[in-house]
């Protein structure tokens, strides 16, 4: 949620909460620890080397998902799901409900 929130505008409409169901077979995943990421991967607002790293992950289609550290909360992780992987057709996405951030989150 925080990854989306830091890029959200107050009052942003048409957000939805999505449940994602994917295989828990570890061979489908790639865990990328911080020391394996390119230098400056967490540079804001963006990192060309991190974008290149992600592009290579997508184009190789060798893993269904990649687990990477969060830029926002360093102890957290994000999953990058690869729609080019052959097993992507087994990923299930379900819109659970409409979603909006509590307006108090935008008050600073």
Q: What is the pLDDT of residues 72-104, one digit of tens each?
A: 888 899 999 999 999 999 999 999 999 888 778
pLDDT tens-digit series, residues 34-63: 999 999 998 877 889 999 999 999 999 999
**pLDDT of amino acid 44:** 79
Residue with the two structure tokens 């990477």 = 68
Q: Where are the chain's structural domains?
A: 2-9+24-99
| Radius of gyration for the chain, computed over Cα atoms and rounded to the nearest angstrom | 16
The answer to whether the beta carbons of residues 68 and 30 sit under 8 Å apart is no
């Amino acid at each position: 949620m925080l990854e989306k929130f830091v890029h959200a505008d107050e009052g942003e409409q048409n957000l939805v909460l999505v449940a994602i169901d994917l295989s828990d077979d570890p061979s489908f995943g790639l865990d990328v620890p911080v020391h394996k990421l390119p230098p400056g991967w967490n540079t804001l607002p963006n990192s060309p080397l991190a974008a290149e790293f992600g592009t290579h992950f997508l184009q190789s289609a060798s893993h269904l998902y990649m687990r990477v550290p969060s830029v926002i909360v360093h102890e957290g992780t994000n999953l990058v799901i690869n729609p080019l992987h052959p097993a992507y057709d087994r990923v299930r996405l379900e819109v659970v409900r409409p979603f909006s951030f509590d307006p108090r989150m935008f008050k600073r």
